[in-house]
């Protein structure tokens, strides 16, 4: 095993390693370093155990706003995005003419809409890991008990839907899906696949592999047989699916490599 000099690593990796050390942890998993690049054999072997890597992790560190222009975990921050500001209520006879206002859609804008969270591998990582710490416009926290940030350290408040954004963070139960699985496996799987199918793929081969970790966990709970994107106990009604929106004939192309059986909804997206 050959050591990698810190100076040879990207700013994001260096920040992640230093942050892990400050937490008192000895080990960190970085897929692009821990999986041999350009090795299909190692990629297949490691992707098959990805559920164990993230399921048994202490915390998943997410560089949610990382970009080529601004690498690293830490960004310049606008304190007005974290600290509430004082607003005067123009109403006579009000006992408290001032209120402290904060943006209720903070999580939605900073985390749910982040480009990195639209990637299929990241979706699986968030589902499997017990905790995720997002480095964004501020720190955002996800675990089985709480969704919080620096603005709302005790948890996000419920926001009326008339305000124009979600009343709860999208996938507010992303750490609780295993619990939901025990009560309604069919609906939970359908919700997972719906989100999964709208995620972005770098390579077509990732379509099923990026779902393997979730499949293994679901099999543990249900003991059902997995059939290329479907579950045996859900047949035959699981075959009744359709694409939303319109699809032009010019957009239909045959895949260059095998992806999945044609009856599965997974390769259709």
pLDDT over threshold 80, residue 161: no
Q: State the pLDDT confidence band at 197, using cuts at 50, 70 and 90.
A: confident
Per-residue HEC secondary structure of 226-259 comes to: EECCEEHHHCCHHHCCCCCCCCCHHHCCCCCCCC
Q: Are 133 and 141 a contacting pair, CB within 8 Å?
A: yes
Q: Are 55 and 217 a contacting pair, CB within 8 Å?
A: yes
The token pair that represents 52 in the structure block: 């164990």
Minimal CA–CA distance to 261: which of 246, 243, 244, 239? Answer: 239
pLDDT over threshold 60, residue 269: no
pLDDT over threshold 60, residue 248: no
Q: Residue 6 and residue 127: Cα distance in Å, rounded?
A: 30
pLDDT over threshold 60, residue 251: no
Q: Residue 194 and residue 198: Cα distance in Å, rounded?
A: 7
pTM exceeding 0.85:
no
Higher pLDDT, 176 or 112: 112
pLDDT over threshold 70, residue 160: no
Q: Give the pLDDT confidence of 114-151 residue by residue, as tens digits.
A: 888 888 888 888 888 999 999 988 899 998 888 888 88
DSSP the chain: -----GGGS-HHHHHHHHHHHHTT-S----HHHHS-TT-HHHHHHHHTTHHHHHHT-S-EEE-TT--SSS-SS-----GGGTS-EEEE---TT-S--EEEE--TTHHIIIIIT-GGGGBHHHHHHHHHSSEEEEESSSEEEEESS-EEESSSTT-PPP--GGGSS-SS-TTTTTTSHHHHHHH-HHHHHHHHHHHHHTSB-SSTTHHHHTTHHHHHHHHHHH-PPEETTEEGGGTTGGG-----S---GGG----SS----TTSSGGG-
Q: Residue 177 and residue 128: Cα distance in Å, rounded?
A: 9
């Amino acid at each position: 095993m050959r050591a990698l000099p810190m100076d040879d690593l990207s700013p994001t990796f260096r920040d992640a390693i230093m942050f892990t050390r400050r937490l008192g942890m000895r080990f960190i998993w970085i897929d692009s370093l821990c999986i041999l690049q350009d090795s299909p054999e190692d990629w297949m072997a490691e992707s098959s155990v990805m559920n164990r890597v993230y399921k048994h992790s202490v915390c998943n560190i997410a560089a949610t706003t990382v970009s080529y222009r601004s690498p690293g975990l830490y960004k310049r921050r606008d304190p007005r995005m974290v600290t509430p500001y004082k607003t005067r209520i123009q109403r006579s006879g009000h006992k408290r003419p001032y209120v402290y206002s904060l943006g209720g859609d903070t999580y939605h804008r900073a985390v749910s809409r982040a480009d990195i969270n639209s990637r299929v591998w990241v979706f699986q990582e968030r589902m499997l890991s017990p905790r995720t710490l997002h480095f964004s416009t501020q720190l955002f926290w996800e675990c089985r008990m709480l969704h919080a940030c620096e603005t709302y350290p005790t948890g996000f408040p419920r926001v009326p839907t008339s305000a124009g954004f979600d009343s709860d963070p999208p996938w507010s139960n992303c750490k609780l899906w295993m619990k939901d699985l025990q009560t309604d496996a069919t609906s939970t799987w359908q919700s997972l696949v719906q989100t999964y199918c709208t995620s972005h793929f770098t390579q077509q081969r990732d379509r099923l592999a990026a779902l393997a970790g979730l499949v293994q966990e679901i099999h543990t709970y249900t003991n059902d047989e997995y059939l290329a994107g479907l579950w045996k106990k859900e047949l035959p009604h699981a075959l009744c699916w359709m694409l939303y929106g319109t699809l032009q004939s010019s957009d239909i192309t045959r895949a260059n490599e095998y992806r999945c059986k044609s009856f599965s909804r997974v390769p259709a997206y």
